Amino acid sequence: MGATQENSLLYLSKQDIVDLGGLRSDPYVKAVTLALKLHAKQDIVQPLKPYLRVDPKNGHIADRIIAMPAYVGGDLCISGLKWIGSKHDNPAKRNKERASALIILNDPESNYPIAVMEGSIISGMRTAAVTSIGARYLARKAFQSVSVIGCGVIAKMQIISLLEQFDSIRMIHLYDLNRETAIQLANELKSFVDQVEVRVAQSSEEAVRHTEVLITATVASSPHIPYEWLAKGTFVSNISIMDLHKDVFTRADKVIVDDWDQSNREKKIIHQLVLEGKFSRAQLHAELGEILMGMKPGREHEDEIIVLNPMGMAIEDIACAAEIYSRAVEQEKGTRLCL
């Protein structure tokens, strides 16, 4: 730690982030809530994120590197960038997690970097925080059942975050195309919780039909969940974006996004519907931050089917990274690197 603050940056490894409480939901819920409110106030700067695709015609939809720069205002006043790479076949072919990431934080006064940190934990946990925040406003009160389609690392973060934030949950349904993956996650969860029943569903339809909160956490490149499968009152956190058929968006009682401009691009389902003239900004119920700020209502009736379609925003990553960085400075964690 010999380098000074003025000519160095702080490096935080994945283990550093874990040691700083980076696998607990509370810091992310706090940071993402702040980011969403600042988004509604327009106290942020967030360019549309570019996608680097080497083989866009033949590659999988999850094969890309994304640059996500942002400035977050309010009391944070910090800038940064998430650089996140993904290959859909990393787990099967390379024994690696699907996504990897780095986050850089910059002092907006000088624009000098002040930190660089492993970003996959932060990226996954902030996505889980979006679901938890969405559930607080958009799911039925005291909901008891959760279903997750896709049972990888992101799914586990989603479930554990929900369990930490909601003590009403009593049933979790899991489904994955690879049944062994679902069984493995089920076994991990059973060792984590006592009063919650965990079941591996025989089909995605079974998992979808028997839940109050549905989370999609797949690498699907085409829709596979029709509107007919959704029970009245279901809240859907569509974090993997491509899983829901178009009729879900046109028939749901409310559709919410994190950011309209981010959602209406890259040939995602909403963008396809806009191009077809079947959906528009006017038909959108709200951006999530507007609901947190009380500018738009969340759930108003028990039977509403509500879809949250979050593309994921850089301001969420930067706000969360700033929270972890603040903890690291306070606890003197990490490694100082000379510039």
User: Which are the catalytic amino acids?
Assistant: 82
Q: Which amino acid is at 61?
A: I
Exposure string of 178-217, with b = 16+ CB inside 10 Å and e = fewer, is eeebbebbbeebeeeeeebebbbbeebebbbbbbbbbbbb
**157 and 51 Cβ atoms separated by less than 8 Å:** no
What are the structure tokens assigned to 264, written together?
């209406």
d(CA 62, CA 122): 19
DSSP for residue 127: H
H helix or E strand, kind and range, residue 225: none
Q: Which residue has the tokens 């624009």?
A: 111
Helix, coil or strand: residue 167: coil
**98 and 124 Cβ atoms separated by less than 8 Å:** no
